[in-house]
């Protein structure tokens, strides 16, 4: 029903824009990753794989990447542990308050990311809310130092920030779950626990996969929370990239790390799509 | 619903769920409560409990010219990014819905990738583009970055709207002699009104708070999040809490506004679901 001219008119402008401002920059990043920096701090446009070799050879790079993945894995786990039961509660037990509670999960996303991260600093600091309360309750004599400037602080803050992202897709799948299946399971004599584990949970797996992907990928690439709250032991891979593009001035090596992250993200997306298709109901 | 809470086991299960929900909400809102509370704290951002409740920080804030300059910059950036994202995002949604062309799968993936890609990668790749082309970093480069990244939001929202659109209306308009341009403005666009407004609001807010992409594309003028970032590194005063509290209140007003609009339009679908479905490849 739509003419060729119509299709061209809606396709061409976004296609060109995306090619210029998304595809070209990614390709450029790929090119940069094969270049190097001379002693006089200029980019040398000679092609070799030294940067990738360095990533494998120098332990600080792959160790930081592994540590970032470990932090992201913990954030993902905690976000799911917090988000899933909440989504289940809203979808099955909240009754008329459902919409209001749903909005209440979204609202924290409207508060500046930076400021929420900073608020955790006020809470976790040595004269902060947490330490004062603990000392007041005589649970500790001296302020607990590990609360701030540690991987713990980074995991806690990122969990706070990405829990709503894990919650959203889980809630969406639970809401789309046909209620007559739940009723049928009950009518056929299953206990609530059996209904949950045999009917509801398997059908909600696509949402869990989507939520986990969001939480993992977004926390993996984070560099602001580690800078604010991480201290030296909480440094993540993106912090190394930031310093390579800044003070350390080694764009090509930074580009190589970024390109590896890009590949990692895209393969995770493809993998989670596969998983979702496999488990999806219909 | 009731059938799941029958029996004592189930009742204790639902009580457990309720406690868990209360705990999660406490966890989500604790930093926000702290943030608002300390905006009135005379002693600064450290220490507990807060002492000397005061409005001084709000007074300081209103006289702080750099903050207001950065707010103005952020508003301009957000508006311009919104225009770019909608100008290219709406046609992109139409293209994904209606056109077949080689490379469509790649196009879809590219357009939607910034939704989930850590901002640092989008920011750095654009930085390299601007560096190679010799473009000077300024608010304009931030606009290009935000606009490009947020096309994804416009596309997902409008694509979801198109899925619900009755195509017979457009067909009728074309049969009755309207051209494509007229049909778009008189039939398609009015039907997509809610999706487009929803996308615009979301793009605006996301741009106002964006920092990872801006971090690399910043020139001489700061956006608000970058101004805050600069001050955070020096150690801040509750003035930052005050400005965040004000923005939070404005956001709440925007949410209520959007929510009422949605209720009037009888559910334009919810943003979360649509974005997730788009990222997970159900679009196209």
DSSP string, chain A: ---HHHHHHHHHHHHHHHIIIIIHHHHHHHHHTT-EE-TTS-EE----SHHHHHHHHSHHHHHHHHHHHHHHHHHHHHHHHHHHHHHHHHHHH-GGGHHHHHHHHHGGGGS-HHHHHHHHHHHHSTTSHHHHHHHHTTS-SS--GGGSSSHHHHHHHHHHHHHHHHHHHHHHHHHHS-HHHHHHHHHTT--HHHHIIIIIHHHHHHHHHHHHHHHHHHHHT--HHIIIIITGGG--HHHHHHHHHTTT--HHHHHHHHHHHHHHHHHHHHHHHHHHHHH---
| A18: in domain | no
The number of beta carbons lying within 10 Å of the beta carbon of residue A115 is: 23
Confirm whether A11 is domain-assigned.
no
Residue A149 in any domain: the answer is: yes
Weakly modelled stretches of chain A, pLDDT under 50: none
How does pLDDT run across A174-228, given as a tens digit for each residue? 998 988 999 999 899 898 889 999 999 999 999 999 999 999 999 999 999 998 8
Residue B6's pLDDT is what? 46
Do the Cβ atoms of B116 and A129 come within 8 Å? no
Task: State the distance between the two ends of chain A, measured CA to CA, in whole angstroms.
Answer: 30
For chain A, the domain total comes to 1
Q: Give the C-alpha separation, B284 to B273, whole Å.
A: 16
Taking the Cβ of residue A182 and every Cβ of chain B, the question of whether any pair is shorter than 8 Å is answered with: yes
The fourth-level CATH superfamily of domain B64-279 is MetI-like (1.10.3720.10)
What's the confidence (pLDDT) of residue A150? 86
Nearest CA to B119 out of B198, B226, B27 is that of B226
Task: Tell whether A178 is covered by a domain.
Answer: yes
**Interface residue B269 vs chain A (CB under 8 A):** no
* CATH code of the domain containing A238: 1.10.3720.10
The SS3 assignment for B50 reads coil
Please tell me the predicted confidence (pLDDT) of residue A174. Answer: 93
**Domain residue spans of chain B:** 64-279
Total-model pTM: 0.88
CA distance B192 to B162: 7
In a mutational test of the B interface, the residue from A1, A8, A18 whose CB has the highest number of chain B CBs within 10 Å is: A18
Helices B104-116 & A201-220, crossing angle to 10 degrees? 70
B144 contact residues in A (CB cutoff 8 A): 21
CA-nearest of B46, B80, B258, B88 to A110 is B258
Residues 56-85 of B with CB under 8 A from A: none
Residue A102 lies in a domain: yes
pLDDT the model gives residue A147 = 75
Q: What is the distance between the alpha carbons of residues B124 and B92, in angstroms, rounded to a whole number?
A: 24
Q: Give A206 to chain B, closest Cα distance, Å.
A: 9
Whole-angstrom CA distances from B100 to A9, B76, B111 are 13, 36, 16
Kindly state the DSSP code that residue B2 receives in the 8-state scheme. Answer: G
* A81 within a domain of the structure (yes/no): yes
Which residues are paired to A36 by β-bridges?
A44
Segments in chain B below pLDDT 50 = 1-7, 267-268, 281-284
Please check whether residue B144 touches A, CB under 8 A: yes
Give the domain extent around A233: 58-279
* Residue spans of alpha helices (H) in B235-283: 238-264, 271-279
Q: Of B69, B191, B89, which is closest to residue B146 (Cα–Cα)?
A: B89
Cβ separation B24–A86 shorter than 8 A: yes
Domain-embedded: residue A29: no
- Distance, in Å, from the CA atom of B186 to the CA atom of A85, rounded to the nearest integer, reads 45
Which residue of chain A comes nearest to B11, CA vs CA? A192
Integer Cα distance of A72 and B70 in angstroms? 32
If we measure between CA atoms, which residue out of A148, A71, A161 comes closest to residue A110? A161
How far B154 CA lies from chain A's nearest CA (Å)?
Answer: 12
């Amino acid at each position: 029903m739509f003419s060729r001219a119509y299709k061209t008119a809606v396709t061409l402008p976004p296609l060109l824009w995306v090619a210029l401002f998304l595809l070209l920059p990614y390709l450029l990043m790929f090119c940069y990753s094969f270049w190097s920096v001379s002693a006089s701090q200029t980019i040398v446009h000679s092609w070799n794989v030294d940067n990738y070799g360095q990533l494998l050879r120098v332990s600080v790079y792959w160790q930081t990447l592994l540590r970032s993945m470990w932090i992201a894995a913990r954030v993902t786990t905690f976000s799911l542990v917090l988000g899933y039961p909440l989504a289940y509660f809203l979808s099955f037990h909240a009754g008329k308050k459902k919409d209001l509670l749903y909005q209440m999960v979204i609202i924290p996303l409207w508060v500046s990311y930076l400021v929420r991260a900073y608020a955790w600093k006020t809470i976790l600091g040595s004269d902060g809310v947490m330490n004062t309360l603990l000392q007041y309750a005589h649970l500790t004599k001296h302020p607990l130092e590990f609360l701030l400037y540690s991987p713990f602080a980074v995991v806690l803050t990122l969990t706070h920030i990405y829990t709503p992202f894990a919650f959203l897709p889980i809630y969406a799948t639970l809401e789309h779950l046909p209620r007559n299946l739940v009723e049928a399971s009950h009518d056929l004599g299953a206990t609530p626990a059996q209904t949950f584990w045999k009917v509801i949970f398997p059908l909600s797996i696509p949402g869990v996969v989507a939520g986990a992907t969001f939480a993992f990928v977004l926390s993996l690439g984070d560099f602001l929370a580690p800078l604010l709250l991480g201290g030296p032991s909480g440094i993540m891979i993106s912090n190394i990239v930031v310093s390579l593009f800044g003070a350390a001035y080694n764009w090509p090596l930074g580009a190589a790390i970024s390109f590896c992250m890009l590949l990692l993200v895209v393969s995770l997306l493809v993998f989670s799509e596969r998983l979702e298709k496999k488990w999806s109901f219909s | 619903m009731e059938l799941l809470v029958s029996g004592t086991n189930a009742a204790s299960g639902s009580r457990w769920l309720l406690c868990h929900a209360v705990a999660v909400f406490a966890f989500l809102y604790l930093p926000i409560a702290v943030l608002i509370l300390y905006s009135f704290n005379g002693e600064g951002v450290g220490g507990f409990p807060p002492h000397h409740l005061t409005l001084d920080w709000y007074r300081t804030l209103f006289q702080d010219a750099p903050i207001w300059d950065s707010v103005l910059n952020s508003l301009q950036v957000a508006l311009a990014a919104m225009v770019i994202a909608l100008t290219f995002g709406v046609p992109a949604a139409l293209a994904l819905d209606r056109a077949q062309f080689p490379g469509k799968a790649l196009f879809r993936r590219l357009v939607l990738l910034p939704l989930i890609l850590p901002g640092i990668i989008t920011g750095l790749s654009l930085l390299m583009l601007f560096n190679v082309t010799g473009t000077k970093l300024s608010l304009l480069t931030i606009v290009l970055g935000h606009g490009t990244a947020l096309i994804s939001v416009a596309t997902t929202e409008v694509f979801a709207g198109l899925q619900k659109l009755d195509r017979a209306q457009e067909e009728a308009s074309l049969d009755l002699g309207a051209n494509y341009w007229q049909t778009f403005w008189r039939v398609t666009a009015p039907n997509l009104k809610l999706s487009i407004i929803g996308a615009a609001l979301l793009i605006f807010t996301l741009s106002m708070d964006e920092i990872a992409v801006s971090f690399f594309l910043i020139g001489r003028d700061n956006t608000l999040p970058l101004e805050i970032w600069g001050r955070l590194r020096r150690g801040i005063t509750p003035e930052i809490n005050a400005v965040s509290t004000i923005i939070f209140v404005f956001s709440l007003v925007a949410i209520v506004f959007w929510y009422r609009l949605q209720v009037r339009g009888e559910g334009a679908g919810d943003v979360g679901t649509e974005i997730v479905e788009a990222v997970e490849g159900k679009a196209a």
